[in-house]
Structure 1
Amino acid sequence: MQLIQATRDAVLKPLTTVVGIVERRNTLPILANVLIRKQGPQVSFIANDLEVQITTTADFGVGEDTIATTVAARKLLDILRALPDFGDVKIALDDNKLSVLAGRSRFALQTLAATDYPTVSQPEQWDASFTMPQKALKHLFDRVHFSMAQQDIRYYLNGLLFVTEPGRVSAVATDGHRLAHSSTVVESATAQTDIIIPRKTVHEMQRLLSDDSEATVQVDVTATQIRFRFDEIEVISKLVEGKFPDYKRVIPTGYTRHFTINREPLQASLQRAAILTTDKLRGVRLELGGNLMRISASNAEQEEAREELEIDYAQEPLDVAFNVSYLLDVLSNVKTDAIRWSVQPDVNASVLLTLPDDDAFQYVVMPMRI
């Protein structure tokens, strides 16, 4: 019973879209599979890891019948990638085996019943819904994702706070040592919601969203789920339970010492200084004063790096240390010409990094002792 006939690349595109969430090791063997549903010419590919589900559709089904099955996702992906890029690929289901035919190549793969595949049940009504451009949503995630915690026992930090309020959407991430906040105007947002999106879902959305597309994303939210729909893709994710820290209290206000520095020279200087730090101690010292930023790093082998950059800072000197990785993260992900620093004359005070002429982004980094 033939399911699909299309070019190799046409089949690869939807399969590649969903296979990113398929884990190589699963407690449920069927989760290593992709669910293929054919309803007439429309074919859906669905992957689910019990936290996030991705569905995408394409019009290359053969016949008008309705068929569903599941097959090992990465095996099918690897086979398609290895096939030569000419002629059509034919995929059929016979005797509980999925056959893949292309030219003189033949493959037969074991299947598991589609009825055993766990799919996410969706609510009849969502608490909040709005639309925004793809590039705006990707921009929001890109500016904060690096501050999410990794495997923190405070599980609510292993995700991204997604805040909607009338006319605006914000994203916040923190690991307890630094915090990134970014927001954007979304006129169609009307409800007030605060939810935590899992780390894996954020990374999948970054992979799937386009950097430059003005096409809209439909976003739907409940207390336990979030759904994104764009192009021919649907992403549904569970949410992280827990109370996210009050980020507004963490972002400093009232700082009176500011200077602006070009991003790329600063990034290059920090990258060079970081060479002499160690994995256990990633600290660099920043000395501000006399219209200079002096960057230094040293290690247990008595090796030392020193860099100097000109800045417009004539106030009393300030000597403070930071984890260089935290500084490089923001400089790598926020693609602007310049970064605005705001500091206090206190070695224990956090630094506030913002963007000139743009109050929609804040990055707070706590100092460290070295």
Structure 2
Amino acid sequence: MKLKINRDKLADIVTRGVSSAPKNSPAVIANNARIVVKHGMLHVATTDFQMQVEASGECNMEREGATTVDASKLKLVVDRLPKGVDVAIDFDESKYEMIVKAGRSRTTFPTLAAEDWPARQYREEGAMFTLDGTDLVRLLSHTTQELSTVPNSAMQGVFLHVTEGRLAAVGTTGMILIMSSIPAPEGVEDMPKDGSGRPGIILSAETASQILRLFRSAEEVQVVVNEHSIFVSTPATRFCSSLLLGTYPNYAPLVSSPCETRVILQRDACASAVALLEPFALKDQGYRLQCAGSDEGFVVAVGSQTGGGVDVVEADINGEVAAFGLNGQFMKTMLGSFKANTIALHPDHQNRRVLFQAEDEPSIVGVIGMMNISTEMAAGPTHG
């Protein structure tokens, strides 16, 4: 194996290629990146046994070959090489060493055999469809934020599924839920069905985050899904991951049939009120803010031994909005998930939920569970 390549191109390939390397795997070779040079292309791959990524790019190949080297050291060395220089890489099979030269610098890496590297097989079978980076960001960027931490729960992952002619992603902790959707691309209806018969899969938080990191800027990605794995690829990057097993809870009743009670307000104004009062919301009280409707608008308040306050957001209120509690951090996350200037809150005391929607952004729906309140602070404005 022998090649030459520009340092900046090499850095891009290595950065993508080592992103699935484990930190300290007991299997030493699993800490290594597999490097393959073939047909004028350099391929760098890593795996943590659950996920595998392979990044590719053109190089000036003099001799093909394959080996493995420590992934973290490879990235450190390449990152510290001067930008723009030409890099020569040579694998000395007699000494089991890979030598990297750039200018006057020379770095030697011990190697392990490429055939012993624990590669996952890319199975190009299953439901096939295409997305672009914008679709992936829309589906995963917000839903990945809010996932359950309960061990072995299906809610530890993002539920990617088909519903009502759309491809939707759902993430929930059990107290906050965010659903984002796009028109269903052709072929997505062939995804394997979960235990309840819905075409869908559950992506771990790590898998969803890795897909975003690798493909958020891609013009088009090919996705293949079968009952065990997801494969996402472009000509320059290939990624595969195992899926979480289990049946995702039936969340549909939470995001459907909003109650008639409605509070329409400016998202930025509400976010400012939450940010003002959030420092006084205590962890041992679930970061609770108290909310209610009044003649002046939508009231947000908090009180504790460390202080408190109340603010009123101008709003168009339809119906009686009795006082209720909301987790201030969840409220901040929810408001940040929308881009629309105007959003609608539907406080539903009967079902103990607040549904969030935006007419200008129908692709996102959010729900936060109501909290009990112990005082009347939020019953109306008290600041004069």
Q: Establish whether TM, by shorter chain, passes 0.5.
A: yes
Taking a change above 3 Å as real, the CA distance of residues 103 and 204 of structure 1, as seen in their structure-2 partners, is same
Counterpart pick for 1:367 among 356, 366, 370: 370
Tell me how far 1:121 sits from its aligned partner: 2.0
- For these two proteins, the number of residue pairs brought into alignment is 362
Taking a change above 3 Å as real, the CA distance of residues 271 and 59 of structure 1, as seen in their structure-2 partners, is same
* Runs of 5+ consecutive residues of structure 1 not aligned to the other structure: none
- Kindly indicate whether the alpha-carbon contact (under 8 Å) linking 1:43 and 1:61 is maintained by their aligned counterparts in 2: no
- Structure 2 residue 220 is the aligned partner of structure 1 residue 222: no
Distance 1:235 1:280 in 2: 41
Distance 1:37 1:339 in 2: 51
- Structure 2 residue 27 is the aligned partner of structure 1 residue 24: no
- Kindly indicate whether the alpha-carbon contact (under 8 Å) linking 1:143 and 1:334 is maintained by their aligned counterparts in 2: no
What are the Cα deviations for residues 226-279 of structure 1, in whole angstroms up to 9, with x where unaligned? 111125111111000111101213324141012222222222221221112233
Tell me how far 1:48 sits from its aligned partner: 0.7
Partner SS for 2:363:
strand
Counterpart pick for 1:353 among 330, 352, 356: 356
Moved over 4 A (4+): none
- Which deviates the most, 349-358 or 232-241? 349-358
Distance 1:157 1:319 in 2: 29
Partner SS for 1:256:
coil
Counterpart pick for 2:311 among 307, 312, 333: 307
Partner SS for 1:147:
coil
Distance 2:173 2:35 in 1: 38
Matches within 5 A, 1:25-104: 25-63=24-62, 65-94=63-92, 95-104=95-104
Distance 1:255 1:23 in 2: 47
Name the TM-score, length of structure 1 as normaliser.
0.91
The aligned counterpart of 2:175 is 177
- Kindly indicate whether the alpha-carbon contact (under 8 Å) linking 1:17 and 1:208 is maintained by their aligned counterparts in 2: yes
The aligned counterpart of 2:323 is 319
- Kindly indicate whether the alpha-carbon contact (under 8 Å) linking 1:259 and 1:312 is maintained by their aligned counterparts in 2: yes
Distance 2:182 2:9 in 1: 35
Taking a change above 3 Å as real, the CA distance of residues 167 and 311 of structure 1, as seen in their structure-2 partners, is closer
Tell me how far 1:322 sits from its aligned partner: 1.0
- Structure 2 residue 218 is the aligned partner of structure 1 residue 242: no
Distance 1:18 1:299 in 2: 50
Distance 2:318 2:158 in 1: 38
The aligned counterpart of 1:266 is 270
Aligned AA for 2:77?
I
Distance 2:281 2:260 in 1: 31
Distance 1:113 1:21 in 2: 19
The aligned counterpart of 2:112 is 112
Distance 2:118 2:284 in 1: 42
Taking a change above 3 Å as real, the CA distance of residues 131 and 242 of structure 1, as seen in their structure-2 partners, is same
Tell me how far 1:131 sits from its aligned partner: 1.1
The aligned counterpart of 2:158 is 160
- Kindly indicate whether the alpha-carbon contact (under 8 Å) linking 1:287 and 1:295 is maintained by their aligned counterparts in 2: yes
What are the Cα deviations for residues 326-358 of structure 1, in whole angstroms up to 9, with x where unaligned? 111122233222222112255x62000112144
The aligned counterpart of 1:202 is 208
- Kindly indicate whether the alpha-carbon contact (under 8 Å) linking 1:283 and 1:323 is maintained by their aligned counterparts in 2: yes
- Kindly indicate whether the alpha-carbon contact (under 8 Å) linking 2:158 and 2:202 is maintained by their aligned counterparts in 1: yes
Taking a change above 3 Å as real, the CA distance of residues 28 and 155 of structure 1, as seen in their structure-2 partners, is farther
Aligned AA for 1:17?
R
Cα root mean square deviation, aligned: 2.0
Distance 1:166 1:30 in 2: 46
Aligned AA for 1:207?
R
Counterpart pick for 2:298 among 293, 301, 312: 293
Partner SS for 2:190:
coil
Partner SS for 1:359:
coil
- Kindly indicate whether the alpha-carbon contact (under 8 Å) linking 1:147 and 1:180 is maintained by their aligned counterparts in 2: yes
Partner SS for 2:139:
helix
Partner SS for 2:61:
coil
Distance 1:336 1:209 in 2: 25
What are the Cα deviations for residues 292-324 of structure 1, in whole angstroms up to 9, with x where unaligned? 1121123333x1132221101153242111111
The aligned counterpart of 1:13 is 12
Tell me how far 1:165 sits from its aligned partner: 6.1
- Kindly indicate whether the alpha-carbon contact (under 8 Å) linking 2:167 and 2:185 is maintained by their aligned counterparts in 1: no
Tell me how far 1:291 sits from its aligned partner: 4.4
Partner SS for 1:122:
coil
